[in-house]
């Protein structure tokens, strides 16, 4: 305990500083020369630099910080004495069986396999005696070391001593196995409903501050390629489960596993992903969770000014810092990156690129943010070992898309609006993408889309509802005009004449195709092939305002039969406004088309009569109405 143990330094730096600490150390110059280029080992900053480089190299050995047999183990007599001190009886009296040797060891303790007298197999985690005193000395020395860094390297904008204090608090909390047991149960309560996620059951009669007895779960570490292959278990499959669970931890409740190295994840033969070691947990505040999702939306929209403002909410920057110079730097990096689809984006490349941009400015990384990035990076690293082409964001985006569609929180509704609206118009492609992507997530509940429908009828969504009215009217108008054009072509024998009588409007083809998709979906839902029909009672089957009212009534009736829940929605004031506004817009559009049609027909007749072509435009046949 008289010297700082390397693993303690490494773990603390990895969790709190990560590459930011190293990046700034690389840029430090001392005595007229660069730390990198000069003779650094003769100076304190140089030695610090080399130490940081060594830590970076050790990143691949992070599994040694978890349960791993490579750590020097306790003598059985010592470990069993701890059990007796904590539980009041010798281990042989408490457990029906207990292994002579530990099955795993770590810097804070080690694990034995045993069996209760009631028959359950258990894992018995025993803390190293005196570890608290050793950690106290380690943290004191580390705190003094970081104090020297704070005083002598001004290039590191974030004070390091507070980070040491925060880390020390987390580490001391990790020594309380009773708290760890409660953490495990809280994790199970919050995330146990996630498909294929599992945690060990805590055996409370056999648990104390330095002894934790829990259910033994047979499993394979995700890093053990040979064992995974022998058990016919797919690493990618389990990583995808881990990613969804991690996203729920961050974005649903903000309570998450803060030490998610590969040794704490097991794959079972039944397909469950088991989370272990709940000594170090962390929480992300609600405002930060919403800000993260807003930040993703702003990134997708390339709204770099809004991204800069997000850094205030995320507490990356103090509000006294002018973030406007950051926007051009973000644009320079992300404009090229975002030319790819979301499914092709590389998570690590984005994190590294964002880090390179922010390193140029005075910023800090909140502990919760660094920890969750580390968690996702660990999972992506596991997947990349199995599949070099794996893309983490392709797995993460469906969950976020589902949250944007179904979460009623005002902050996320605002992000939803930002995503689907641009320059006063709805971006249907974005909405369709959200629906398609969200369906890929096991967490997506399509029934919750009614929450989105309810929101659209509230005063807060008046802006979106107005745009939706315009789009619905445009779709029905385009569909109806196309139908009239087709019938006129057949009756007149001329497509060109039909298009002069019913001109094609800009973007009409897109609106018509979208209307066809929607009507097809409704017909499929009804289990029949009969499409909605707008009966045109005017000349040549043209629709009148009365026909529009009939269509709206027909649509409402079908909708209520198809989705009974609409009956409740239709009682809301916004629903009546929506239907009335759509009907009014359709009436205006059809009236305008009817006027153009009449004038077009007169011009066509005038041009056709000298050629004996008056018969080209006969009046509507008595008793016959066109299906518009």
CA–CA gap between residue 85 and residue 75 (Å, rounded): 16
Query: Which segments within 82-193 are labelled E, that is strand?
Result: 97-98, 104-105, 109-115, 121-127
Q: Which of 314, 313, 305, 292 is nearest to 404 (CA)?
A: 292
CA–CA gap between residue 247 and residue 161 (Å, rounded): 30
Q: Which of 503, 518, 402, 505 is nearest to 468 (CA)?
A: 518
CA–CA gap between residue 468 and residue 428 (Å, rounded): 10
Tokens 């992903």 label which residue? 273
CA–CA gap between residue 525 and residue 258 (Å, rounded): 46
pLDDT in tens, 495-520: 888 888 888 888 888 888 887 777 66
CA–CA gap between residue 522 and residue 567 (Å, rounded): 17
- Concerning whether 150 is annotated as a catalytic residue, the answer is no
What pairs with residue 388 in β-bridges? Answer: none
Please say whether the beta carbons of 63 and 224 come within 8 A. no
For helices 326-337 and 304-313, the axis angle rounded to 10 degrees is 120
pLDDT at position 532, please?
59
CA–CA gap between residue 179 and residue 280 (Å, rounded): 10
pLDDT in tens, 93-106: 999 999 989 998 87
Which among 18, 176, 252, 259 is annotated as catalytic? 259
One DSSP character per residue, 28-65 reads -EETTEETTTS-GGGSHHHHHHHHHHHHHHGGGGGGGG
Query: Which segments within 389-485 are labelled E, that is strand?
Result: 421-422, 425-426
pTM: 0.71
Q: Where are the domains of the chain?
A: 6-65+132-173, 76-129+176-283, 286-450, 463-627
pLDDT bin (cut points 50, 70, 90) of residue 564 is low
Cβ atoms within 10 Å of 27's Cβ, excluding its own: 13
Per-residue pLDDT, averaged over 616-623, amounts to 43
Q: Which of 280, 74, 87 is nearest to 187 (CA)?
A: 280
pLDDT at position 576, please?
80
Residue 87 has pLDDT above 90, yes or no: yes
CA–CA gap between residue 197 and residue 192 (Å, rounded): 6
The architecture that CATH gives domain 76-129+176-283 is: Orthogonal Bundle (1.10)
């Amino acid at each position: 305990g008289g010297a700082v143990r390397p693993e303690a330094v490494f773990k603390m730096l990895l969790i709190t500083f990560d590459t930011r600490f190293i990046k700034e150390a690389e840029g430090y110059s001392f005595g007229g020369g660069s730390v990198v280029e000069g003779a650094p080992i003769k100076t304190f900053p140089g030695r610090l630099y080399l130490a940081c480089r060594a830590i970076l190299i050790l990143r691949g050995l992070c599994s040694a910080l978890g349960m791993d047999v490579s750590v020097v183990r306790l003598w059985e007599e010592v470990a069993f004495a701890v059990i007796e001190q904590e539980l009041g009886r010798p281990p042989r009296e408490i457990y029906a069986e207990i292994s002579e040797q530990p099955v795993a060891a770590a810097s804070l303790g080690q694990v034995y396999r045993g069996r209760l007298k009631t028959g359950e197999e258990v894992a018995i985690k025993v803390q190293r005696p005196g570890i608290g005193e050793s950690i106290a000395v380690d943290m004191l020395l580390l705190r003094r070391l970081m104090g020297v860094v704070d005083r002598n390297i001004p290039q590191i904008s974030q004070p390091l001593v507070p980070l040491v204090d925060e880390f020390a608090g987390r580490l001391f909390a990790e020594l309380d196995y009773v708290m760890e047991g409660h953490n495990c149960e809280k994790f199970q309560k919050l995330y146990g409903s996630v498909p294929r996620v599992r945690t060990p059951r805590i055996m409370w009669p056999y648990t104390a501050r330095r002894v934790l007895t829990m259910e033994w779960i047979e499993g394979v570490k995700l890093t053990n390629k040979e064992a995974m292959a022998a058990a016919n278990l797919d690493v990618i499959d389990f990583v995808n489960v881990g990613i969804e669970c991690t996203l729920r931890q961050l974005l649903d409740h903000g309570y998450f596993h803060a030490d998610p190295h590969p040794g704490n994840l097991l794959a079972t033969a039944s397909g469950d992903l088991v989370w272990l070691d709940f000594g170090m947990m962390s929480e992300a505040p609600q405002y930060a969770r919403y800000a993260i999702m807003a930040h993703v939306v702003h990134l997708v929209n390339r709204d770099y000014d809004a991204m800069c403002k997000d850094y205030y909410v995320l507490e990356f920057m103090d509000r006294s810092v002018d973030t406007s110079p950051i926007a051009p730097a973000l644009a320079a990096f992300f404009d090229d990156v975002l030319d790819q689809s979301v499914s092709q984006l590389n998570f690590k490349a984005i994190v590294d690129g964002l880090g390179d941009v922010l390193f140029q400015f005075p910023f800090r990384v909140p502990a919760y943010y660094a920890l969750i990035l580390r968690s996702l990076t660990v999972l992506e690293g596991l997947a990349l070992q199995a599949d070099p082409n794996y893309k983490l964001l392709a797995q993460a985006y469906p969950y976020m898309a589902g949250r944007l569609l179904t979460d009623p929180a005002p902050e996320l509704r605002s992000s939803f609006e930002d995503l689907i609206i641009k320059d006063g118009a709805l971006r249907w492609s974005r909405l369709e993408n959200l629906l398609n992507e969200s369906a890929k997530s096991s967490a997506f509940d399509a029934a919750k889309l009614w929450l989105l429908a309810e929101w659209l009828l509230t005063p807060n969504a008046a802006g979106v509802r107005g745009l939706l009215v315009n789009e619905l009217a445009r779709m029905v108008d385009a569909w109806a005009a196309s139908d009239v054009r087709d019938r006129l072509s057949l009756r007149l024998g001329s497509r060109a004449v039909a298009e002069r009588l019913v001109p094609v409007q800009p973007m009409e083809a897109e609106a018509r195709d979208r209307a066809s998709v929607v009507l097809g979906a409704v017909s499929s839902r009804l289990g029949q092939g009969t499409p909605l029909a707008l009966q045109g009672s005017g000349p040549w089957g043209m629709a009148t305002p009365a026909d529009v009212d009939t269509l709206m009534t027909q649509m409402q009736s079908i909708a209520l039969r198809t989705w009974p829940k609409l009956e409740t929605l239709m009682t809301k004031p916004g629903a009546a406004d929506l239907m009335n506004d759509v009907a009014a817009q359709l009436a205006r559009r059809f009236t305008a088309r009817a006027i153009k049609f009449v004038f077009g027909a007169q011009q066509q007749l005038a041009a056709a009569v000298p050629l004996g072509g008056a018969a080209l435009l006969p009046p509507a046949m008595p008793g016959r109405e066109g299906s518009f």
